[in-house]
């Protein structure tokens, strides 16, 4: 309880400082440094309370392009493939132009192919990054443009309860499942699965799509 109170006090103090800096029209970096501490503390608070919490996948090395990741999902209900453009640094970029991405182009890009195994549920669509703060998990660690695992997932609990009526219901199976949530620019992707495998290809988007569909049909 003491630890929870300490975090609540820290959040209250940071929010007070944010308000003060904003009113004084302080430096943007100062405001940013303060505000980025809030989701970290709220995540810690949520975990201490054993609430449903979005935890960042700290070892996730496959970050997508923020502006136009163009995620695609292919699934047969058991195995699922997620494809998107990886973030790339353009050393020539000076802020005066925009790189337009065309998925029909034959040009090579860094493309991620994420394979989720033993999938029991997935969702793909709204919300986008402009309304992410309206999501129920926003106060529990969910952030824009990043990869999460949902701890104490209510969705897994709901699905397990439904499946508990089956004569072959096995509680241990549900304990091994993980709930992933990826917040893209225009969409949010969620998947409940046993695990995943990530691959990176330097080729056209179409080529990776063909590769995924070929694997799906095999």
Q: Could you state, in order of their start, the residue ranges of all structural domains in the chain?
A: 52-217
Residues 121/125/128/131 CA torsion (nearest 10 deg):
-80
Range with lowest mean pLDDT among 32-36, 111-115, 131-135, 138-142 = 32-36
Within 8 A by CB and 6+ apart from 43, the residues are: 53, 54, 55, 140, 141
d(Cα 21, Cα 85) in Å, to the nearest integer?
A: 37
Return the DSSP state at 67. S
As a whole number, mean pLDDT of residues 93-119 equals 77
- Considering only residues 218 and 134, tell me which one the structure prediction assigns the higher pLDDT: 134
User: 195 has which bridge partners?
Assistant: 117
- Considering only residues 200 and 94, tell me which one the structure prediction assigns the higher pLDDT: 200
One DSSP character per residue, 5-37 reads: HHHHHHHHHHHHHHHHHHHTT--HHHHHHHHTH
pLDDT band for 206, please (50, 70, 90 cuts): very high
**Tokens 């309880």 appear where?**
1
pLDDT of 144-181, one tens digit each?
999 999 999 999 999 999 999 999 999 999 999 999 99
Gyration radius (Cα) of the chain, Å: 20
Mean pLDDT estimate for the chain: 87
- Considering only residues 153 and 43, tell me which one the structure prediction assigns the higher pLDDT: 153
Residue 41 pLDDT: 85
What is the sign, positive or negative, of the torsion defined by CA atoms of 183, 104, 217, 87? negative
What pTM, to 2 d.p., does this model score?
Answer: 0.85
């Amino acid at each position: 309880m003491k630890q929870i109170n300490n975090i609540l006090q820290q959040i209250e103090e940071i929010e007070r400082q944010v308000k003060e800096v904003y009113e004084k029209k302080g430096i943007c970096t100062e405001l940013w440094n303060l505000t980025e501490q809030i989701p970290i503390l709220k995540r810690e608070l949520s975990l201490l309370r054993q609430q449903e919490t979005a935890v960042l996948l700290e070892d996730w090395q496959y970050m997508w392009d923020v502006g136009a990741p163009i995620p695609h999902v292919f699934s047969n209900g058991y195995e699922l493939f997620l494809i998107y453009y990886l973030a790339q640094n353009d050393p020539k970029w000076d802020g005066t132009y925009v790189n337009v991405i065309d998925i029909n182009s034959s040009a090579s890009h860094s493309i991620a192919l994420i394979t989720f195994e033993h999938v029991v549920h997935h969702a793909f669509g709204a919300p986008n990054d402009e309304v992410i703060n309206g999501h129920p998990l926003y106060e529990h660690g969910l952030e824009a443009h990043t990869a999460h695992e949902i701890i104490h997932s209510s969705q897994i609990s709901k699905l397990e309860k439904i499946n508990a009526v089956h004569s072959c219901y096995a509680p241990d199976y549900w304990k091994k499942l993980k709930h992933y949530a990826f917040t893209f620019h225009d969409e949010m992707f969620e998947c409940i699965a046993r695990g995943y495998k990530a691959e990176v290809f330097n080729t056209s988007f179409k080529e990776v799509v063909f590769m995924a569909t070929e694997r799906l049909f095999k």
